[in-house]
Amino acid sequence: MSAIVNVGLVVLAAVVLRQWLLNDSQTSAQLAETLNSSYDYIVVGGGSAGSVVASRLSEDPYVSVLLLEAGEFDGDRPQVFIPGLALLNLRSNFDWWYMSEPQDGVMTGLKGGRSYWPRGKILGGSSSLNAMQYVRASRHDYDRWAEYTKDEGWSYQHVLPYFKKSEDIQIPGLQNSPYHGQGGPFTINHLKSQPLSAKIIQAGQAAGFPYNEDYNGRTMEGICNSQVNSLNGERMSTGRAFIHPVLGRPNLDVAVRAQVTKIVIKNKKAVGVEVIKDGRKCVVNANKEIILSAGAVNSPQILMLSGIGPKKHLESLKIPVVVDLPVGQNLQDHMFFDMGVRIREPLTSAWQDFKNWWSQQQFKWFGTGPLSSPFNLEVLAFKSTTKETKEKDWPDLEIHFIEIMPNNILMDIFNYAEETKAELADRNRGDYGFTCLPSIMRPESIGNISLKSADPFDYPLIYANYLAAQEDREVLIRGIQECKKIVNAKPLQDVGAEFTEKGPESACKQHRYDSHEYWECLVKHRALTIYHPIGTCKMGPKGDPTAVVDPELRVQGISGLRVADASIMPWLVSGNTNAPTIMIGERAADLIKGKKLPPLDL
């Protein structure tokens, strides 16, 4: 990680005088250092959903709102708002730095057989750390939610207005699209800092992917430049979009370094939270409701610590059971497989570009260049790979293209074991290249999260159960074949594209190279998470014994308590999860207010 830090320090020295640093130092003075004894609403977690909920609830001047964030304030953190420094935030103080538990025969190429799970511990949550991809997923995902929950409010035509409400689309060709919104706090743009992007899109078209100007529109199928949450080249996190502009509201308190350890419950009613703020423990009461938006790991952890969860599990830890609910179950996550590609032409950024003078000046004055690009991820592709998914127009495969040479720096982020890195050492030869990352959209494998102990500072145990379902492995193998088609297409062959791994890797050498058995073995050996965990506080119809919350996000059996974040998803959506999580925050705020936007039938 020292190479990443060195790059970051050089760049930070060049950009610390940007005007937004001065502005944000003023907003940080508006944070709450002391807490009132009570508020009407308490929002736990200032991430992708919690920031939205707190901002929208505080629009009513007659209610008081407290937003509690366990991490730091994001305002004076240039490594957060400079997209090209996103790697600096991983395994930092702004990251919970979770790890999954080892699995038999899976992820054997990772250190300790464990998958690294970055989760944001900072205002804006994981939207302050991620690759900034704005993907809403398929209309079929939400229609499936609505059918299951028996609540049409979760159908595509009902959630589309909430996507549009947040959005300020700035992509010229989409500004008049009925699928997009203007004037919202969350700005969406294209990034085109990497010349190779055009070649990848052309190669994708040659390999059978249609060009799709807007995968957030009528259909997801196809390939194009990705849509990202960016403004003037800087990251637009939910903290920056939804909280910074409203820090001056007298009815909103935002407290950082404030970790909630327990929901206080009396007579099956949530009445307050136990919080440790700057090392001091206190209880803050809620007059109306508590909204838990701590994410797919922390929300179930807090519920279980509060006595809401599986009875046997809580009893084993001597936690008094308040309500027996399947908290922590239904864990789902996207996975991808990493295929390194070297090119001959200087059409992508080299790692040294992040610290050279010209790159710094490009970003400092124009908000462009390598530093404006998150992980150099600027192209996405979606494909329906089976007869069923093609007929329904419901892609089951997504491909990310990280346009930078996948050398040891990137492999450290992937948590590859030293022997795996040695096996892939040829990636360190050459400056220019990219990574083709096919990923499963709707995994069938389901895991769970449980408490390690009753200590709130003990990290929970993450049993991801990756690739348990055969179909999950098959989707990745089909995705590998699609990557091969794209890399072997003429537009990429013209620039000398070649896979960095050209023969069998030792972990799977017992199988014939390039056979189905070989790829299945390799997928199990070193498949990776895309960091999209969901489902651990599952939403379902009222009374559903497999659900934690009802369709209005109220925790079953408890009044005054809702969950609003990615943990409520009954199924993982077909795409990156940040945009859907923001939508959940928008809709949760209206549910609490007793309002709803009219549906859009597109």
DSSP state letters, 110-174? BGGG--EE--B-BTTGGGGTS--B-----HHHHHHHHHHHT-GGGSHHHHHHHHHHHEEE--GGG
- Give the contacts of 42 (CB within 8 A, at least 6 positions apart): 65, 66, 68, 272, 273, 284, 286, 289, 290, 291
- Give the contacts of 457 (CB within 8 A, at least 6 positions apart): none
Number of H helices, E strands in the chain: 19, 25
Count of other CB atoms within 10 angstroms of residue 213: 12
**CA pair distance 472, 467, nearest whole angstrom:** 6
532 is catalytic: yes
For residue 157, CA distances in Å to 139, 143, 175, 215, 250 come to 8, 9, 20, 16, 35
260 in a labelled binding site: yes
Q: How many CA atoms lie within 13 A of 219 on its CB side?
A: 19
The amino acid sitting at 458 is D
**CA pair distance 433, 410, nearest whole angstrom:** 12
Which member of 158, 180, 334, 532 is catalytic?
Answer: 532
Count of other CB atoms within 10 angstroms of residue 279: 6
**CA pair distance 252, 11, nearest whole angstrom:** 35
- Active-site residue numbers? 532
Residue stretches of the annotated binding site: 260
Residue stretches of the annotated binding site for FAD: 260
